[in-house]
Each structure stands twice: as C-alpha cells, then as structure tokens.
Amino acid sequence: MPHRHIEIDPRALPASVADRAYSATVPPQNRTNQPPAGRYATDVLAKGWQQQAKKVVPEIALERGMVLEDATTGFCGAVTRWENGLVVLEGRGDKRRSFPIGYGLLLEGEPVLVKVPTRGPAAGHRTTGRTASGSVAGPIERAKVALPSRIYVEGRHDAELVEKIWGDDLRHVGVVVEFMDGIDDLSDIVAEFRPERGRRLGVLADHLVPGSKESRIAAGVAKGPYGSYVLVAGHPFVDVWQAVKPVKLGLQSWPHVPRGTDIKHGTCAALGWPHRDQADIARAWQRILATVTSWSDLERGLLTPVEQLIDFVTQDHIT
C-alpha cells in the first residue's frame, strides 16, 4: 500500500491532543514555552492557583465605638472592649454579645478581618513631648497591678473620653476607670464597693449642678458611712458630648435640646445626623470623639473634676 502523507491542523484537535501534536510537528529549536490557546491556556496547577478566585478581605484594627455586624446572626453593635480573643459589641437596648476576633464580622455591610490593635513602643523606650492631658510624657512603663481605688463614670462615652485624654496618666498611677449605667443607684454601688483608706472611690457625674437630682444624690453619699473615702465630682453638662468644645465640630454652640428629649438623639436631630438606632448614636459619638486630640479640645468644666478625682483616689498611694 502506498504511503500517504496527511497534514493535521492542531487547531482542529482537542486541547490535550493539540499540545502533543504541536510538540511532535514543531522542531525543538522553534518551540515556545506556551502551548496553543485552548481550555488551559495557563497552568491550572501553578503555584497560587488557590488564591486566584479568592476575594481579598481587608484587615482592620479594633477601635472602641466602631460599629460591627455579625455576619451569621445579624447582631449589630458598637465595640466596647476586647479580651481573650473575643470582641464585645453593644447593640440596641444596651444588649451586649461577644464574638470571636478574626473573620465573620461586617463593617458597613462588607466582610472584614478584625485584629487587636498593635501595641505602642516597647517598654523602656522614651516618648517625647506631653500626653493628651498635658502632662510631661515619661518613659513607657511595664503594665502595673491596678490599685484598689477606682474611678466610676456615667456611661461608656464618658469612659472613652477619659481614656483618650487621661489614659496615659491613669496607667502611670495604676487607676482603673469603670462605667456605670447611671448615678441613681450610687448609694448601693458605694455600699457594695466599701471604700476605705487605700481603697478610695471617685465618681464622675453628669450635670452636677446645684438643685439637680445628681447633686442631691452626691450629698447623700457624702453624709453616709463611707463619705470620707468617696468623692463625687461632676461637670455641668447634661451629657459628656457637650464637654467637647463645639468649635471642634464647626459649631458656635451645642444645640438646645428640649427637656424630656433624649440629649443624644435630640443633638443628632438638631445637627441633621442619623439617629434612628444605637448604631447611629455610636457613629455620631465617634465623629465627635475623633475631633478630640488633647485637653485643649475640652471645656474646663470637665478638666477640673477629672483632675480632682485622679488626685483623690491616688493620695493614699503616693510616696
């Protein structure tokens, strides 16, 4: 039988067969590293193939007041604290729930990888300048055992503002700030704490002005059995928001909120800010808090009582 020469067009063959045909018909010196275009134009098993279709999730550092949503349950709330691998969110009605730090949370509806903020310079390195409260910044110290004395404040926003301005000072002296839901139960709180020499209790109260409910409660505590070791100091503002100088937000003054209207919701409404739920209020507070960088951004009405409380609770421990 006579021998017949058949020309085969590799493009008409399946991709795998075409590859072999290409290798067989093209001289080695003319071959390229790339096979003809087909279903597998690139090496599907090359390094990194697993990540090619994976969506990149941004990493964010946790911040107090940041509003996050749990992707599984839909629970939405502001970050209050984080510890032991968990972040605590406070939602509507002051309900709190804990969620694992890492994946599974949403920020503004988008998935994020939340992480614990990185620490500052290593212990022993010296900072420069002054702290946010105006104190001379000294060397960064190792963590101290907290003193038995405490400072209580009314609400999370008060605690966050105190931490931002006086946090370095409080860590230096080893004083912990805790927040309480309100001052109405102050007598019971004091009785449970049982303050004494070396275990003092300082309380920062909102709207501590003559004739107010707060002033009457404070006077009752001062006359009580623990009065010598309790100091109730307060600012004159209805809410700690107003302790931030209004000029920091481009205002001449804080808006007047009618009596009987929640001060936070009323303020947001007057400024045209969203205030439908707790998440909106948390965002509004973070907007305000972000404008505060030092003691000079606050009214004297808050600065003085906080300094008094720090001096009071540490006086038994200063040597």
Q: What is the mean pLDDT of residues 193-205?
A: 93
Task: Mark whether 207 and 68 lie in a shared domain.
Answer: no
Across the chain, mean pLDDT equals 79
122 pLDDT above the threshold of 50 = no
H-run or E-run covering 78 = strand 76-83
Residue 272 lies in a domain: no
CA distances (Å), origin 109, targets 68, 76, 90, 276: 9, 10, 17, 17
CATH number at residue 106: 2.30.30
| Higher per-residue confidence, 137 vs 187 | 187
Task: Mark whether 75 and 26 lie in a shared domain.
Answer: no
Residue 1 lies in a domain: yes
What pLDDT shows up at residue 107? 87
Residue 309 lies in a domain: yes
C-beta of residue 278 within 8 angstroms of C-beta of residue 92 = yes
**pTM above the 0.85 mark?**
no
Residue 158 lies in a domain: yes
Give 267's pLDDT tier (boundaries 50, 70, 90).
very high
What pLDDT shows up at residue 56? 74
CATH number at residue 225: 3.40.50
Give 118's pLDDT tier (boundaries 50, 70, 90).
confident
Q: What is the mean pLDDT of residues 118-142?
A: 51
Domain range for residue 85?
59-115
Task: Mark whether 307 and 172 lie in a shared domain.
Answer: yes
Q: What is the b/e burial string over 202-225, where b = at least 16 CB atoms within 10 angstroms of the residue's CB?
A: bbbbbbbeeebebbebbeebeeee
Task: Mark whether 190 and 298 lie in a shared domain.
Answer: yes
Q: What is the mean pLDDT of residues 271-298?
A: 92
Task: Mark whether 309 and 204 lie in a shared domain.
Answer: yes
Q: Among positive and negative, which fits the CA dihedral 28, 29, 31, 33? A: positive
Task: Mark whether 74 and 155 lie in a shared domain.
Answer: no
Distance CA 316, CA 311 (A): 10
Residue 300 lies in a domain: yes
What pLDDT shows up at residue 124? 40
What pLDDT shows up at residue 188? 92
Residue 264 lies in a domain: no
Give 136's pLDDT tier (boundaries 50, 70, 90).
very low
Task: Mark whether 173 and 221 lie in a shared domain.
Answer: yes
Residue 215 lies in a domain: yes
Q: How many domains does the chain have?
A: 3
